[in-house]
Amino acid sequence: MSRPVSSLPFRTLLAAGVAALLAACALPLASESEIDTQGDAEFQKIRNKTPLSTDAGRRAYVNCVASAIVRELPPPYVDQDWEIEIFESEEINAFALPGGHIGVFTGMFKVAENQDQLAAVIGHEVAHVTEKHALKRYNREATTQIGVVGVAVATGTGQAGMDLGGMVAKLGLSLPFSRGEESEADTVGLRYMAKAGFDPRQSVALWQNMQKKSKLGPPEMLSTHPSSEHRIDELIAQFPETLKLYNEAQAAGKKPRCQR
């Protein structure tokens, strides 16, 4: 039996009404430069509230690893002037932000035991930036009501209480990454580290160390970079490809010796 034809106009009107309502509530889409501006501002905020490490050795070590990774990024990221900072904090955390910023908390050294493991962390973080996860996420959330309501609840402000920059920062930069984004950052990050001459097999040890620390309370990094039970298996599955890149890098003389 077919549906009564008379119900169609009503449903069409209803759909149009809902669409209009959503459009009225939806946020404007952000551009790449807007995301970069928010990345700059977020980085400045973190700098203002977290003491910088004065340990010259550690600063040189992180700079050595991060610079080697940056040299392997695709354009335009490879030509960007990346700001690399080491924060004195027990937090087991690291991050990269659009606009060209990399931050490593000294607590990360409790988990990343050598240059290759630190390269795995930085490669993963930078991959979130080069894959434009913040921009994609903001624009995805901006077109749905769910994100707006979620932020209004989380921040105690209505949509009108926050400017576009604040919304971009909240929706694009602060929310935990999705499983798909995590998996993509793992894959892309693994390639970056291998191309820089860091041993991609050490990524497994890194995430295992991270899991071990979880027993005493989850590392801050895992709250924004949720680990799936398949993470280790997925990394191992990519060894044939990434070890090839690693061997090529080594053969080309890319043998980083970043001293901790």
Instruction: Tell me whether residue 126 or residue 167 sits nearer to Zn ion (CB atom).
Output: 126
Instruction: Tell me whether residue 26 or residue 175 sits nearer to Zn ion (CB atom).
Output: 175
Q: Is 109 exposed, middle or buried (0-12, 13-18, 19+ CB in 10 A)?
A: middle
- Give yes or no for a contact between 99 and 42, defined as CB atoms under 8 angstroms apart: no
* Rg of the chain on CA atoms, in Å: 21
Q: How far is the CB of 175 from Zn ion (least distance, A)?
A: 12
CA 133/CA 179 separation, integer angstroms? 12
Q: How far is the CB of 220 from Zn ion (least distance, A)?
A: 12
Residue number of the CB closest to Zn ion reads 225
- 37 residue type, one letter: T
CA 244/CA 49 separation, integer angstroms? 42
H/E run at residue 87? strand 83-87
Is 185 a binder of Zn ion (CB under 5 A)? Answer: yes
Instruction: Tell me whether residue 109 or residue 177 sits nearer to Zn ion (CB atom).
Output: 177
Single out the segment in contact with Zn ion by CB under 5 A; choices: 24-32, 86-94, 170-178, 195-203. Answer: 170-178
DSSP string for 70-105: HTTSPTTGGGS--EEEEE--S---EEEETTTEEEEE
- State which of positions 55-84 bind Zn ion (CB under 5 A): none
Query: Which residues, in sequence order, are bridge partners of residue 85?
Result: 103
Q: How far is the CB of 124 from Zn ion (least distance, A)?
A: 6
**Per-residue binder mask for Zn ion (CB under 5 A), 208-247, x = binder:** -----------------x----------------------
Is 90 a known active-site residue? no
Which member of 34, 42, 85, 125 is catalytic? 125
Q: How far is the CB of 174 from Zn ion (least distance, A)?
A: 13
Query: Which residues, in sequence order, are bridge partners of residue 87?
Result: 52, 105
Provide the annotated active-site residues.
125
Residues near Zn ion (CB under 5 A) are 177, 182, 185, 225
